């Protein structure tokens, strides 16, 4: 059962909402992302390169994404797809060829790559989120790494990955600031939501 109800969370300020989301994440079972909605996303975008994120299990997210997705893609005939992982230096996010041996702890309960390989761009970017709404508004963890990256690479297809309990009809405008960027898709364990282009503008 969802901890946050649509009728109550709009009374929270942003910090109260983040704390409630933390409790929500702790209450959720782990889930694996390779499912029918993910296959629909791949069919929709047809990417040549895919950027993953890695999350620790305490956030209740698809923390095994870096193990499951490459295996899934290989099994499904995406062997030619280039898979990338995140690296953070200072306040800058970049993506590099995936190598599970290079994963290390990063900021804000993330895992990142310690890579010396050349930075590459992704056709499809999977991003973490604390919450999203059906209009593509994404509430991140507060570091702004992905928002800055999306602003620098506006042609990338961006998909937020969250548990369905953290998907809302509409998040309050006051939770966001000018630098926050919307996503093109929202992927849960139940469905893929494509955000209409006119909503993104």
Q: What are the extents of the domains in the chain? A: 30-200
CA atoms within 13 Å, Cβ hemisphere of 123: 13
Helix (H) or strand (E) holding 138: strand 138-139
User: Which CATH code of 3.40.50.10420, 3.40.640.10, 3.40.47.10, 3.40.50.1820 fits the domain covering 30-200?
Assistant: 3.40.50.10420
> If pLDDT is split at 50, 70 and 90, which confidence band does 113 have?
confident
What pLDDT score does 200 carry?
A: 59
Percentage with pLDDT > 70 across the chain: 73
Helix (H) or strand (E) holding 139: strand 138-139
> If pLDDT is split at 50, 70 and 90, which confidence band does 61 have?
very low
Mean pLDDT value of segment 124-139: 91
Is 60 a residue whose pLDDT tops 90? no
Tell me which of 97 and 75 has the higher pLDDT. Answer: 97
pTM across the whole model: 0.83
96-105 pLDDT, tens digit per residue, is: 887 766 777 7
For 107-136, give one letter per residue: b (16+ CB within 10 A) or e.
eeebbbbebeeeeeebbbbbbbbbbbbebb
By residue count, the chain amounts to: 201
What integer best gives the mean pLDDT of the chain? 78
């Amino acid at each position: 059962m969802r901890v946050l109800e649509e009728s109550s969370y709009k009374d929270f300020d942003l910090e109260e909402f983040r704390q409630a989301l933390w409790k929500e994440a702790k209450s959720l079972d782990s889930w694996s992302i390779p499912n029918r909605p993910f296959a629909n996303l791949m069919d929709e975008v047809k990417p040549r390169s895919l950027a993953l994120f890695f999350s620790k299990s305490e956030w209740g997210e698809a923390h095994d994404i870096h193990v499951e997705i490459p295996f899934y893609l290989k099994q499904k005939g995406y062997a030619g797809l280039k898979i990338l992982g995140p690296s953070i230096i200072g306040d800058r996010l970049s993506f590099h060829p995936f190598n599970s041996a290079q994963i290390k702890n990063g900021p804000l309960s993330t895992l990142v790559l310690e890579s010396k390989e050349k930075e590459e761009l992704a056709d499809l970017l999977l991003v973490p989120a604390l919450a999203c709404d059906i209009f593509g508004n994404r509430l991140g963890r507060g570091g702004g790494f992905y928002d800055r990256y999306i602003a620098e690479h506006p042609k990338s297809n961006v998909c937020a990955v969250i548990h369905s309990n953290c998907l809302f009809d509409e998040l309050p405008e006051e939770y966001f600031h000018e630098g926050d960027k919307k996503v093109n898709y929202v992927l849960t364990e139940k469905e893929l939501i494509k955000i209409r282009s006119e909503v993104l503008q």
